[in-house]
Structure 1
Amino acid sequence: MSFSIEGKTAIVTGAANGVGLAIARHFVDQGANVMFADMDEERLSHECGEIAEEDGNIRYFAGDLRERLTLANLLSATIDAFDRVDILVNGSRQVLPSVPLDLDDTTLEALMMQNVTNTFRLSQMVAKRMIKQAADREEGQAGAIVNLSSIAARRTQPELLSFSVSMAALDQLTRSLAVSLAEHRIRVNSVALGSVMSASLRDALKEHDGYREEIEGNTPLARIASPAELAEAVQFLASEGAGFVTGQIMTIDGGRTLLDPVGAPAH
């Protein structure tokens, strides 16, 4: 079975930087049609503007992905450009510190909306389109959805309480959608990231001296992964080569959760 995604059409959210951008670029390199989507219009335009004009299999969409209408417009723009959608990568996620005893802290609400509710809404919309596209086919994959989660879902980090809770909810959403959409031949999986050079981790390394050494010291492979390393795992889950894989949370953390000592850095 091939892991090829050539000729498939994918929407990748969070595609303006970091992991999402690496996945979207990798998909393009593998011959897929890709809609780069993000809320950061300036960065998205900078990353995709010129190549979108030169390459017919690249488009980009900027907007507030917390709004239902924006999500609907994203799907419509993808269909207008490529006629279909076969893969959804929900890579748009936010990491914010929490203050658990501060009654005015609204971090949990914000991260549940950004990391869970938005993922659910877009997945619903895209799944309906995938079902419609596959109506005349009785066999084969109708579509694949891949969510980007975190090992924080299984860890207890008070300073990342809200993020951890949102990631745990995202993992359960992945499993629930996998069961709900299985009859429609749509697979749903998640990649739980460990220490990957995301935009948020890059910022954290700048702010804290010795943070890199601390992370690497608590990771058996003794390094931080590059975003590009995640892209091939996402490709596998999106491809028909993973045709019997659904509802799974694939952990990519360099062995971090095998040790996970108390007091290790949150990323």
Structure 2
Amino acid sequence: MSRRPGARQLEGSVSLITGGGAGIGRATALLFAEEGAAVVVADRDAVAALDVADEIAAEGGTALGLHVDVADEQSVRDLVDAAVARFGKLDSAFNNAGIAPPGAAVQDINAEDWDLVQRVNLRGVWLCLTYELKHMLARGTGSIVNSASVAGLVGNPGSAGYSAAKHGVIGLTRTAAAEHGRHGVRINAIAPGLTGTEMVRRLMAEGVIDPETATARMPLGRLAEPREIAEAALWLASPRSSFVTGSVLTVDGGETAV
């Protein structure tokens, strides 16, 4: 975790990151800590969350690793309460936890797979947003970033459940932003393109994603690095985006431009 020169963007703040044990969430937790935040690293894999928290602490940062099941209301409530109890406040949050179901055409989707991806990727974001807002609204300040996807902006053949959930995240983000901008809380979303995470590489190995086809349609011609998505989350979470709310920041190598 290298330190960057200059004033740190999140100095003295407290950030909560779900899905923080791996991939984009891990990269964001490390970056937020570099930028001066005390980071609550939450993941359904408690060991992974603790490992990232330990990694931050080893570099001189402050972090707390916690288990969360974002589809379970009590688990989310306990997570946010624990974060505030430990650090006294919550300044920003990155609702990043999500799953990718097996690929299937609309008519072939298993109902259980459909329900699971909605519970985690949409209900989970809503639950996190709900309990984060309770604390932020009481203080009259805060920034929340929700993880959407380019699949939330365009059709995503073979992954209708995932695409539907991510479209829902964008609608939820915009509505919440419209409700709470005057209360001092900003709410935005990120729409990453294909990123070199463990989940994406698994889908490539399973044949769900063809890497050559996927990168061929991107003007930049490659997958994103998790750190590149984390940088976008940092900007939205920080005061540098102080006049931005209700927006969807697309970080996709130009995929949706063509």
Q: Same fold (TM over 0.5)?
A: yes
Alpha-carbon offset, residue 5 of structure 1: 1.3
Q: In the alignment, what sits opposite 1:258?
A: 257
Counterparts of 1:50 and 1:175, CA distance in 2? 34
Q: How much does 1:104 deviate?
A: 4.7
Alignment of structure 1 residues 144-163 onto 2, 5 Å: 144-163=143-162
Which moved further from structure 2: 41-50 or 111-120? 41-50
Find the aligned partners of 2:124 and 2:51 in 1 and give their Cα distance: 24
2:76 aligned to which of 56, 63, 71: 71
SS at match of 1:173: helix
- What runs of 5+ residues in structure 2 fail to find an aligned partner? 1-6
Cα distance in 1, alignment partners of residues 216 and 142 from structure 2:
39
Which structure is larger by alpha-carbon Rg, 1 or 2?
1
Answer yes or no: is 1:25 the counterpart of 2:25: no
Q: 1:45: Cα distance to partner?
A: 2.9
Deviation of residue 212 (structure 1)?
2.6
Larger CA deviation: 102-111 vs 25-34: 102-111
Equivalent position SS for 1:145: strand
Distance (Å, rounded) in 2 between the aligned partners of 1:221 and 1:71: 37
In structure 2, the CA distance between the partners of 1:200 and 1:210, relative to structure 1 (3 Å rule), is: closer
Instruction: Provide the rounded CA distance (Å) in 2 between the counterparts of 1:63 and 1:224.
Output: 28
Distance 1:50 1:195, change over 3 A: closer
How far did residue 52 of structure 1 move? 4.4
Q: Secondary structure at the match of 1:158?
A: coil
Letter in 2 for 1:257: T
Post-superposition CA distance 1:38-84 (Å, at most 9, x none): 10123223333465488561101113222111111111211122110
Alpha-carbon shift at residue 113 of structure 1 (Å)? 1.3
SS of 2:111 mapped into structure 1: coil
Distance 2:56 2:173 in 1: 33
Partners of 1:98 and 1:251 in 2: how far apart?
25
* Mean Cα deviation higher: 91-100 or 193-202: 91-100
AA matched with 1:119: V
The one-letter amino acid paired with 1:240 is: P
Q: Quick one: percent identity of the two aligned structures?
A: 28
Q: Residues 157 and 103 (structure 1 numbering): CA distance in 2 closer, same or farther, change over 3 Å?
A: closer
**Secondary structure at the counterpart of residue 101 of structure 1:** helix
1:248 match: 247
Match of 2:234 in 1: 235
Determine if contact 2:94/2:146 at 8 Å carries over to the other structure.
yes
C-alpha distance in structure 1 between counterparts of 2:56 and 2:232, whole Å = 24
Name the CA shift for 1:209/1:184 in 2 (closer, same or farther; >3 Å). closer
The alignment status of 1:122 with 2:128, answered yes or no, reads yes
Residue of 42, 48, 59 corresponding to 1:43: 48
| 8 A Cα contact 2:20 2:52, kept in partner | no
Residue equivalent to 2:86: 81
Residue pair 1:151, 1:251 contacting (<8 A) in 2 also = yes
Q: Pick closer, same or farther for the CA change 1:107–1:207 going to 2, 3 Å.
A: closer
Deviation (angstroms), 1:3:
7.8
Give, in angstroms, the shift of residue 185 of structure 1: 0.9
User: How many residues end up aligned between the 2 structures?
Assistant: 251
Q: TM-score, normalised by structure 2?
A: 0.90
Aligned residue in 2 for 1:264: none
Task: Output the TM-score relative to the length of structure 1.
Answer: 0.87
TM-fit CA distance, 1:93? 1.1
